[in-house]
Structure 1
Amino acid sequence: MSALRFEHVSVRYGSHRSGLTAVDDATLTVPSGSVVGLVGESGSGKSTLARAAIGLAPISEGAITLDGADVRSFRRRRPIQMVFQDPFSSLDPRMTIGESIAEALPRDLRGGRARRAEVARLLDLVSLDADRAEALPAALSGGQRQRIALARALAARPEVVIADEITSALDVSVQGSVLNLVRELRAELDLTMLFISHNLSVVRYLSDHIAVMYLGRIVEVGPTAQVLADPQHPYTRELLQAAPTRHGDLLAVDPVAPVAVEPADPHAPPSGCRFHPRCPIGPVARPDRQICVLSEPTRPTGPVGAACHFAGSVPPPQSAVLLSVTATTPPATAADTLN
């Protein structure tokens, strides 16, 4: 496995006057053999950054490299594979499951007995019976289709797997089983993975490191335990306070009240720190902190950091994180919520 690096990546659509910068100068490293959780609310640029890595979104500036090689140089071989959010549209309804998986196999395994054996092995790897190879996607549930999508991604023998909100379209009752499968595959295959989600409870369960995005920019990065126990950026704190668990919020104490303001228009982002109109420790609450309006904070370019002029100025919660980041059970299910 190799490290995937995003180096000052920007993705823009349209013209400079009426266009949209979906990703703005993002720098992030997914270390070899690690899982990096990329979190943020809808529209923050998470999926766009992932699509840029596999060539489905244009890279306007910067570079994305895998083991030092620019991903745009890969033509026939695709060492980065992506599992998409919607399991119902990611499979061709006219192809059998076996055909969909076999299509991604290396050329030396695309014929006859070797191909059938490899398809059966991949189905077993995602805990499905080999006879599912003859079924059409319409005969499968959402959870089973997402397992097939994982098997197809692994069929290409990738160096990096990108999982984009792979449980958000599933019933709550099957989300835990899919997350358990991802965790088992990661341990068995030593996967390098970029795991995208808006749910920090899910990211906590799977990831070694966390990166937080807001309005196209990465605003905080760090080891999972560190970010959850002592978040330095106020936006990260808001995400933590919004994450439901069977015990309540992931943070036991809310020392600052959130500002009731809608997210900014990504076509016309605020000056300075993009989070300042919503920030509970910024100029809305503290008029003396006009630096947040006038100056953009330094964005993290290393493995740890937060893009905030007053990072760490809010004291950490007294009881830190209620759920251990090394927990062996997946995030709360529907039954947990009811209980």
Structure 2
Amino acid sequence: MSELRFEGVTVRYGTGRRMMNAVDAVDLTVPPGQVVGLVGESGSGKSTLARAAVGLAPLAAGRVLLDGRQANRRAPRGTPRPVHMVFQDPYASLDPRMRVGDSVAEAVPRAALADAEDRRAEVARLFGLVGLDEGHTGVRPAELSGGQRQRVALARALAGRPSVVIADEITSALDVSIQGTVLNLVRDLQQRMGLGMLFISHNLAVVRYVSDVIAVMYLGRIVECGPAHRVLADPQHPYTRELLAAAPRRDGYAWDAAAEEGGAVADAEPPDPHHVPAGCRFHPRCPVGPLARPERTRCATLDPAPDAVARLHRTACHFAARTP
């Protein structure tokens, strides 16, 4: 089992006045054998961070390390991939002209299984792991359902013999009736194989089902991170509370946004990421920030991120509880 660590990771897009930090100085650790759920709304930088981990997005600053060694290098085909990514759209990530069995076989390290018969046996084993019959190996992606294609994508990720898997919104393109089955499969595979996993979603209800640790991302930064049960039971950042209030209330974790002191900020739009607000990035939308409580002027002028380590769940909020 291996530890994946992001240290001060920054990813920039654009140049000049149109330059933006899609990911801004992110520190995050995926502990060995645990699932870290990364949650945030669209445009928060989650997928960019995932792509940076596998070398698909160049770093402007920082490092991505697996057990202390650089991890964000694109490995040649047929070689082991210690960090592997499963993409949101399984159809786009599979070659439509190839049989799915060949797509999975292509990811099996050649040094490990050079013999063609052994590779076919390994593909059959991987298909069995993800709940597909061996007969599915001879079909093309268009002949499979969305859930079956995502199972093939999982098998392909496991074929590279990774230590850490990054699952980027892998249920969002699936029918609701299939999402639960895929989530159960992901959790079962992770536990049986002892994999570390970064599980990315905009849906906190999905993230809390599979995660040991929850990290909340907003405008390119991690604003809260801690053990899942603690973050869900006692969310410290107003943005986390907003996400939790929007999630279905079925497992005892809920937050009443209407009960927030100061009330909600009505119909606030996310800021332009090219022009990040000064101070706390969430303050123009915060239900307990300066728009609701004018005396809280520091939210609009002072960045809470530098002192986050001293607060509960490393929360980037001036009014979060201090770590005991």
TM-score norm. by structure 1 comes to: 0.88
| Partner SS, residue 119 of structure 1 | helix
In structure 2, relative to structure 1, the CA distance for the partners of 1:144 and 1:175 (3 Å cut) is same
- Number of aligned residues: 313
Aligned match for 1:296, one of 299, 303, 314? 303
1:105-254 matches, cutoff 5 A: 105-107=108-110, 108-245=112-249, 250-251=254-255, 254=258
**Alignment partners' CA distance in 2, 1:17 and 1:106:** 44
Deviation at 1:254, TM superposition (A): 4.0
Q: Match for residue 11 of structure 1?
A: 11
| Partner SS, residue 244 of structure 1 | coil
In structure 2, relative to structure 1, the CA distance for the partners of 1:55 and 1:247 (3 Å cut) is closer
Deviation at 1:44, TM superposition (A): 0.2
1:253-264 matches, cutoff 5 A: 254-256=258-260, 257-260=263-266, 261-264=268-271
Deviation at 1:258, TM superposition (A): 2.3
Contact 1:160 1:193 in 2 (8 A): yes
Aligned match for 2:320, one of 301, 311, 323? 311
RMSD (Å) for aligned C-alpha atoms: 1.8
In structure 2, relative to structure 1, the CA distance for the partners of 1:209 and 1:249 (3 Å cut) is closer
Deviation at 1:150, TM superposition (A): 0.2
| 1:117-150 deviation digits (Å, cap 9, x = unpaired) | 1000000000110111111111100000000000
Deviation at 1:249, TM superposition (A): 8.0
Contact 2:2 2:31 in 1 (8 A): yes
Q: Match for residue 69 of structure 2?
A: 69
Contact 1:238 1:258 in 2 (8 A): no
| Partner SS, residue 207 of structure 2 | helix
Partner AA of 1:82 in structure 2:
M
Q: Match for residue 83 of structure 1?
A: 86
**Alignment partners' CA distance in 1, 2:58 and 2:264:** 35
Deviation at 1:253, TM superposition (A): 6.8
Aligned match for 2:285, one of 269, 278, 284? 278
| Partner SS, residue 189 of structure 2 | helix
**Alignment partners' CA distance in 2, 1:253 and 1:70:** 42
In structure 2, relative to structure 1, the CA distance for the partners of 1:301 and 1:151 (3 Å cut) is farther
Partner AA of 1:2 in structure 2:
S
TM-score norm. by structure 2 comes to: 0.92
Deviation at 1:155, TM superposition (A): 0.3
Percent same amino acid among aligned pairs?
64
Deviation at 1:298, TM superposition (A): 2.6
Partner AA of 2:314 in structure 1:
G
| Partner SS, residue 191 of structure 2 | helix
Contact 2:279 2:302 in 1 (8 A): yes
Deviation at 1:247, TM superposition (A): 8.0
1:315-330 matches, cutoff 5 A: none
* Larger mean Cα displacement after TM superposition, 182-191 or 27-36: 182-191
**Alignment partners' CA distance in 2, 1:160 and 1:81:** 7
Unmatched runs of 5 consecutive residues or more in structure 2 = none
* Larger mean Cα displacement after TM superposition, 68-77 or 284-293: 68-77
**Alignment partners' CA distance in 2, 1:7 and 1:25:** 8
Partner AA of 2:48 in structure 1:
T
| Partner SS, residue 123 of structure 2 | helix
In structure 2, relative to structure 1, the CA distance for the partners of 1:110 and 1:142 (3 Å cut) is farther
Partner AA of 1:79 in structure 2:
P
Deviation at 1:164, TM superposition (A): 0.2
**Alignment partners' CA distance in 1, 2:137 and 2:309:** 45
1:10-89 matches, cutoff 5 A: 10-72=10-72, 75-76=75-76, 77-89=80-92
**Alignment partners' CA distance in 2, 1:185 and 1:267:** 39
**Alignment partners' CA distance in 2, 1:251 and 1:157:** 40
**Alignment partners' CA distance in 2, 1:249 and 1:30:** 23
Contact 2:54 2:73 in 1 (8 A): no
In structure 2, relative to structure 1, the CA distance for the partners of 1:89 and 1:72 (3 Å cut) is closer
